[in-house]
Each structure stands twice: as C-alpha cells, then as structure tokens.
C-alpha cells in the first residue's frame, strides 16, 4: 500500500520511458526479420518483458547491450525461423493483451503447436475478436475453456488472404491480422470503424513489408522475408507522459518539460483533448521520423469541460482514466462517449474510475460507453484501489495531488506493467 498526499507544483524536466506499443512491435518484427536489430530506448517493463520471454522461448536470441539496459539487440530468426525446442511451445504472456493478441496472428501460420496463456486479467479479455478473422484465414485457434478467451491452443496452418471488417477499432486485432497476412497466399486487408494506432503499419514498412493505409483500411501483401532496418529508436510513451501532462496542468504553479515524447497522430489525442479543455501545452523540437517525437512544455492551466467521442477515442483510449481526473478539476461538464472498449482493458476502467473518483467526492456518472463528469467538486483523500491495473494506479496518483488529506493506494506495484519508475519520476518533479 502506498500513501500519497496533496502536493505543490511540479517543476523540471523528464524523459519518460519508451513507448510500450512500439517496444512490443520492435521485439516481434526484429525476431521475425533477417539480420540484427538494435532497439534503442526500449521500454524496460513487465509487459515488454513478457514479449521478450515469449520470443526467447521461440528460439530467438536477444541480448542486452553494455551501453544501456534500455537497448537490446535482436538476432532475427527470419519469418520461418521460429523454433520451439520441444516442437510445441507454451507461452505465458503475463498481463499483456498486446502480446497475446499479436502473437496469435504470428503463431497461426507457424509449423508447430502453441499454447498462449496469461494472468487472470489477460485470460478474461475478449479473444474472439482475433480468433474470428484468423479462423476465416484458415487458422486453427481454440479457446481452451470455450469462453472466447485465453488460454488458446494454436495449431499452425497455411493461411489465406481475407478482407476483414472489424466491429471494433483495435490496433491489437489489426496487428494480429496483418502479421498473419504476411504469411497468407494473397493480400489481406483490415477495415475498422475508427483509425487505431498505426505503429504496426509504420514499422512493418521499415522492415520492408508491402503494407498500405487507406483511410480506415490497412492492407498487407504476403512476404517471403522481413529485412531488419538495423536500428529502431523507441520514442517516449505518450501514454506514460499523460500522467505528468495532467498533473502539471492541474497543480497550480507547475511548469515542466517532457523530452522525446512520441506524437504519432494516431496517439496524440491527449494533447488535443487537453488543449480543448484549455490546457497549455507547447510542442517543441518536433522530429520528422517514422515515429515522430517532440518535447512537450506544460504549464498549469484552468481547465473547462469538453466532449470526447467518435474518431478521437482510439487516439486516447489508454489516457481516458487520467482525462477523467482532469475532468474532475475542470470548471464545467465533460462527456466521454463511444468508449465501451474501456470495459475490456486490464480492468473495467469505467467501473474502476467511477468507484475511485466517487469515493474521493467527484460527481461522475458512468455510462455503458464512457462517463459524464461534472467538474469543480473538491476531491478528498481516501482509500482507493488500483484494481491491479497500471493505468488506474497512475491516474489515482494524479488525483491524490489534488485531493486534500491522505490518499492510500493498494496494489500500486502494478505500475511496473508499463512504468516501473513512475513514483520515483513523480517525486523528482515535485519541488
């Protein structure tokens, strides 16, 4: 249990750890490529550790470098070089939905049998959304408890190209289908109702794959090999930066700079939402790389309410819990809708944030697909829970900075899923 207290301004500079989504993909595609890939500034966290462990068990050799623990060198096995030592493999994906879903697409065409299982949270998350398109491609994937969730048994099969229309906007599902499509007998396309993060498309192109984006459709042509671009630089994770963006906007007198934050337009919704609420964020030193990044200068601001909906949702889906905290401090009402996906993340994030913020005194009404928050009510410190969900833990740490009295947070260690040094970095900015 951690005790947190209301605190004065945040000041100074910080480089947040590497982007989780990009780190997973760098390990996956580096493993499947021919050649050696140096991944610079990879996220050193439990979730990415799960992906590294899985590819180790699939026979890929991965080294940590002497220079920095955040750099790894992957000796790619080639698209057809994954080789589980026992002829079949059991992979434990821990808490990582991204690992579980994208790996399903990579394993479906391999010439061996795999079993994929995760922790209690992963084994509750919907997998039908990947099982259905992959089965249509010819894969053999079985939910072993017949509940549409992991554990999954995957028996490798030859795959066919398909044109899939997904009911959900999901980069994990899109990535699973595109990865499977690399091994198919014809082109594969994936169309989603709103554009989800496009890291897979960008990175597969860097590995030489024929991948295109056309509006809401991503497509891939079969490949014989992926070729390593030698080096991949992982920008800072905007989802991790979001907690400091929110804290600096909300705590009077704050003034911080966050360095090298990824600002991919399919991920930058937090910046747009914060600005729409009156938040003062300057984007400095923007780079024009495959995955753009920049420094963000944030100063304390008076926020008002806004509406967050439709196409904007996938660009800030993981930031909605901390945006709910920002909404509590805003001067008017904030409506968040079209975000039913929040219910099937590491926890039910609508229920978790409603319970915690209500306990602190916020005026929040949950809905099936979001929340309505009437801002301006003072928050009080109390006992809150992380629900073993890293994003809930970090969002409640931000709420505690505004609440009078003491806030206690249980199961705070789950921040290690995406940001092991979160509490240390927060203290470093507290002057």
The yes or no reply on residue 21 touching ligand S3P (CB under 6 A) is yes
Can residue 95 be called a binding residue for ligand S3P (CB under 6 A)? no
Three-state SS string across the chain, please? Answer: CEEEECCCCEEEEEECCECHHHHHHHHHHHHHEECEEEEECCCCCHHHHHHHHHHHHCCCEEEECCCCCCCEEEECCCCCCCCCCCCEEEEECCCCHHHHHHHHHHHCCCCCEEEEECCCCHHHCCCHHHHHHHHHCCCEEEECCCCCCCCEEEECCCCCCCEEECCCCCHHHHHHHHHHHHCCCCCEEEECCCCCCCHHHHHHHHCCCCEEEECCEEEECCCCCEECCCEEECCECHHHHHHHHHHHHHCCCCEEEEEEEECCCCCCHHHHHHHHCCCEEEEECCCCCCCCEEEEEEECCCCCCCEECHHHHHHCHHHHHHHHHHHHHCCCEEEECCCHHHHHCCCCHHHHHHHHHHHCCCEEEEECCEEEEECCCCCECCEEECCCCHHHHHHHHHHHHHCECEEEEECHHHHHHCCCCHHHHHHHHEC
The least distance separating ligand S3P from the CB of residue 377, rounded to whole angstroms, comes to 29
Q: From the list 192, 291, 295, 318, which residue makes contact with ligand S3P (rule: CB under 6 A)?
A: 318
Q: Which of 93, 98, 354, 386 binds ligand S3P (CB under 6 A)?
A: 98
Instruction: Report the residue number, 301 or 395, with the smaller CB distance to ligand S3P.
Output: 395
Q: How far is the CB of 128 from ligand S3P (least distance, A)?
A: 13
396 or 402: CB nearest ligand S3P:
396
**Residue number with CB closer to ligand S3P (257 or 317):** 317
- Using CB under 6 A, pick the residue from 100, 104, 170, 264 that binds ligand S3P: 170
Q: How far is the CB of 175 from ligand S3P (least distance, A)?
A: 6
Least distance in angstroms from the C-beta of 423 to ligand S3P: 21
Q: Is there a contact between 203 and 181 (Cβ–Cβ < 8 Å)?
A: no
Q: Which region, judged by CB under 6 A, interacts with ligand S3P, from 153-161, 166-174, 185-193, 350-358?
A: 166-174
Residue 311 or 404 having the CB closest to ligand S3P = 311
Q: Which is nearer to ligand S3P, 110 or 170 (CB)?
A: 170
Query: Does 196 participate in binding ligand S3P (rule CB under 6 A)?
Result: yes
Q: Which residue among 318, 363, 404, 411 is the active-site one?
A: 318
Q: How far is the CB of 156 from ligand S3P (least distance, A)?
A: 23
Nearer to ligand S3P, 254 or 315 (CB): 315
Q: Determine, following the binding rule CB under 6 A, whether residue 23 of this chain makes contact with ligand S3P.
A: no
Residue 298 in 3-state DSSP?
strand
DSSP 265: T
Check binding of 317 to ligand S3P (CB under 6 A): yes
- DSSP-based helix, strand, coil % in the chain, nearest 5: 35, 25, 40
Q: Which one among 93, 110, 172, 260 touches ligand S3P, defined by CB under 6 A?
A: 172
Instruction: Report the 10 Å Cβ neighbour count for 147.
Output: 12
Active site residue 318: yes
Give the other-Cβ count within 10 Å of 285's Cβ: 12
Least separation in angstroms between CB 343 and ligand S3P: 12
| Binding of residue 47 to ligand S3P (CB under 6 A) | no
By the rule CB under 6 A, 93 interacts with ligand S3P: no
Q: Are 105 and 177 in contact (CB under 8 A)?
A: yes
Size of the site for ligand S3P (CB under 6 A): 12
Apex 144 CA angle, 166 and 200, nearest 5: 35
| Least distance (Å) between residue 21 CB and ligand S3P | 3
- Candidates 39, 50, 150, 171: give the one binding ligand S3P (CB under 6 A): 171
State the minimum distance, in angstroms, from the CB of residue 215 to ligand S3P: 18
Which residue number, 239 or 301, has a Cβ lying nearer to ligand S3P?
Answer: 239
Task: Give the pairing of strands 255-262 and 293-299.
Answer: antiparallel
Nearer to ligand S3P, 209 or 379 (CB): 209
Which residue's Cβ has the minimum distance to ligand S3P? 21
- DSSP helix/strand/coil, 182: helix
What's the min distance (Å) between Cβ of 171 and ligand S3P?
3
Footprint of ligand S3P (CB under 6 A): 21, 24, 98, 170-172, 175, 196-197, 317-318, 341
Catalytic residues: 318
């Amino acid at each position: 249990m951690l005790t947190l207290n209301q605190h004065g301004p945040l000041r100074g500079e910080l480089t947040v750890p590497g982007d989780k989504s990009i780190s997973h993909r760098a390990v996956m595609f580096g493993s499947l490529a021919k050649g050696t890939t140096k991944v610079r500034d990879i996220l050193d966290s439990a979730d990415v550790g799960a992906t590294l462990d899985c590819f180790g068990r699939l026979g890929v050799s991965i080294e940590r470098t002497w220079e920095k623990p955040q750099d790894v060198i992957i000796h790619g096995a080639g698209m057809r070089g994954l080789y589980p030592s026992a002829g079949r493999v059991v992979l434990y994906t821990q808490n990582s939905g991204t690992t579980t879903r994208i790996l399903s697409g990579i394993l479906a065409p391999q010439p061996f049998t795999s079993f994929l299982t995760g922790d209690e949270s992963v084994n509750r998350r919907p997998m039908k959304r990947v099982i259905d398109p992959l089965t249509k491609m010819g894969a053999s994937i079985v939910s072993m408890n017949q509940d549409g969730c992991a554990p999954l048994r995957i028996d490798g099969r030859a795959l066919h190209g398909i044109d899939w229309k997904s009911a959900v906007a999901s980069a994990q599902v899109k990535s699973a289908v595109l990865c499977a499509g690399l091994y198919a007998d014809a082109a594969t396309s994936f169309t989603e109702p709103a554009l989800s993060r496009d890291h897979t498309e960008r990175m597969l192109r860097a590995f030489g794959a024929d991948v295109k984006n056309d509006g809401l459709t991503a497509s891939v042509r079969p490949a014989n090999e992926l070729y390593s671009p030698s080096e991949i630089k992982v920008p800072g994770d905007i989802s991790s930066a979001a907690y400091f963006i929110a804290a600096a906007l909300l705590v009077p007198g704050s003034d911080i700079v966050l360095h090298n934050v990824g600002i991919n337009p399919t991920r930058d919704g937090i910046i747009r939402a914060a600005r729409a609420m009156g938040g003062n964020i300057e984007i400095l030193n923007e780079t024009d790389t495959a995955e753009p990044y920049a420094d963000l200068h944030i100063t304390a601001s008076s926020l008002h309410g806004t509406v967050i909906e439709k196409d904007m949702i996938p660009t800030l889906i993981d930031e909605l819990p901390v945006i709910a905290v920002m909404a509590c401090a805003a001067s008017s009402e904030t409506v968040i809708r079209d975000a039913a996906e929040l219910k099937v993340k590491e926890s039910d994030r609508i229920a978790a944030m409603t319970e915690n913020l209500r306990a602190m005194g916020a005026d929040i009404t949950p809905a099936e697909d979001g929340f309505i928050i009437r801002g301006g009510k003072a928050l009080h410190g109390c006992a809150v829970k992380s629900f073993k969900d890293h994003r809930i833990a970090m969002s409640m740490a931000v709420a505690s900075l505004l609440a009078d009295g003491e806030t206690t947070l249980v199961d705070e260690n789950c921040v290690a899923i995406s940001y092991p040094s979160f509490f240390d970095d927060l203290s470093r900015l507290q002057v």
